[in-house]
Structure 1
Amino acid sequence: MTSAPPTFTPENIPTQQRRKGGEIRAVCLDIDDTLIDYTTSARCALSLLVGDDGAWSVWQEITEEYAAKVIAGELAYEIMHRERTKAFFASRGERLDDAEAAGREHRRKELLDQQWQLFSDALPCLDWLRGSGYKLAAVTNASGRHQRAKLAMLNLAEYFDHVLIAGELGTGKPDPVIFHTACFMMGVEPAETAHVGDRLDADAIGARDAGLRGVWLDRAGCAPDAPPEGITAITSLADLPELLVCDLSLSVPRPR
């Protein structure tokens, strides 16, 4: 792991500005659209499958609907993938039987595996976090087997002390259970932990309400001038080291 740290080195920060008493000891990170450019990769794969880039918004809506059923325990992930595909093609006027839906989903995943790409700031940030001694956990709402294979394929698994996946745990973000489980596994208190993710509601607010430091990775730069109380917004993972070293030590979130 030799990537240069993003934008600055801790040595450049005056001693009085560094972490006070190791207040932040651990960092949880979302995976999709935080470390991995999931949207670009998945949109490209779907476009190749159906020959229509305009289908992405419908796919997203249907995916949100079926993912919620999985997190609620109403549907197994393997079944969800097939049923989501059937619902998506039904919205396009095409009725698929189980075998055809499974075949198209398999083809979509094959295309997706060829498209995965990391954000350019992901590895430098992870290298810095590991080199600085933070405990790290991946906290994701995706399915277990699929997500673990993706982490291995992109050589991300080695960075994390623990990987918590909603499909395996039986609950997902923003439920406090998944955040508290991550803290327990890392041996830290919620107030000693920052969680970083691209979803304001599920990631940043969910973490804040569980007593962690909620950090919203707003890559699109659409955060208001004043984010919700207790939430810090950044536009790049390159901003995270300075935030952890200088800013997050200044305030403790209020458990809700």
Structure 2
Amino acid sequence: MCLDIDDTLLDNEASSRQALRALVGNDGAWPVWRRTTEEHYARFVEGEIDFDVMCTERTRAFFAAFGEHLSDTEAARREDVRMAAMQRAWGLFDDARPCLDWLRAAGLRLAVITNAPSDYQRKKIAAIGLADAFDAVVISGEVGVAKPDAGIFAAACARLGLEPHEVAHVGDRLDTDAVGARDAGLRGIWLNRAGKRRPAPEGVHVITSLRQLPELLVCDLEPAGA
């Protein structure tokens, strides 16, 4: 079983909103921050800029959207404030630990697949108490490819010692996680926490909580005739 981290196990939106409140006093500009993050994080995932540069440029672009143009030094200072607040707010979803405990009790080998820089994501995994929860941790910054590229899913399967068709992957992004996993030969599962009204493509399973994952694995993903 493979799992995403951010907004799958860790409530990244909650910690990011808390960080935005620390930065500007409230989270009313969340839609602007989220859009700016999507634009800049895509550049990081594509390898155009490194993570630290991405963070500073994102913060500068966010304030520029409201007419405030920051120097490099001031943008970096504000990003440091935001990042410290976010790290203090990191926490798991309520359904994450019980799901991981069930998966482990069921005898499944577990891996993380995440698009992130190595040191940052390993620090995050340790901070939320999951340093020893997985048999493999597969990070785009270490393997050189990112979801939805089939290569990162193949790397996870290899580290688990399993073939792709023997592995399921769950994540909060339909295209990046579920469809990417499906196209790489795994069982793709979309964790649609927000209940978005978006049809899932053929071959993709949908859950709205990790509490539903055990039943899905036992019933819907059980081989025919088992």
Give the TM-score range, shorter chain. Answer: over 0.9
Q: Deviations over 1:198-248 (max 9, x none)?
A: 111111111111110000111122355x63100110111111111112211
Matching of residues 88-237 of structure 1 within 5 Å: 88-223=62-197, 227-237=200-210
Give the equivalent residue in structure 2 for 1:243: 216
Rounded to whole Å, the distance in 2 between the matches of 1:101 and 1:145 is 22
Q: Deviations over 1:121-162 (max 9, x none)?
A: 100110111121111111111222221111101111211111
Does structure 2 conserve the Cα–Cα contact (< 8 Å) formed by 1:77 and 1:167?
A: no
Q: Deviations over 1:48-74 (max 9, x none)?
A: 211231211111111111111112111
Secondary structure of the structure 1 residue equivalent to 2:221: helix
Percent identical among aligned pairs is 57
Give the equivalent residue in structure 1 for 2:9: 35
Does structure 1 conserve the Cα–Cα contact (< 8 Å) formed by 2:95 and 2:209?
A: yes
For structure 2, which runs of at least 5 residues remain unmatched after alignment? Answer: none
Does structure 2 conserve the Cα–Cα contact (< 8 Å) formed by 1:216 and 1:232?
A: yes
Rounded to whole Å, the distance in 2 between the matches of 1:139 and 1:35 is 12
For structure 1, which runs of at least 5 residues remain unmatched after alignment? Answer: 1-26, 252-256
Secondary structure of the structure 1 residue equivalent to 2:222: helix
Offset, 1:167: 2.4
The structure whose Rg is larger is 1
Structure with larger RCO (C-alpha < 8 A, sep 6+): 1
Rounded to whole Å, the distance in 1 between the matches of 2:23 and 2:202 is 42
Rounded to whole Å, the distance in 1 between the matches of 2:119 and 2:31 is 25
- The TM-score, its normalising length taken from structure 1, stands at 0.83
Does structure 1 conserve the Cα–Cα contact (< 8 Å) formed by 2:178 and 2:188?
A: yes
Does structure 1 conserve the Cα–Cα contact (< 8 Å) formed by 2:45 and 2:116?
A: no
Q: How many residues align?
A: 224
Rounded to whole Å, the distance in 2 between the matches of 1:169 and 1:91 is 34
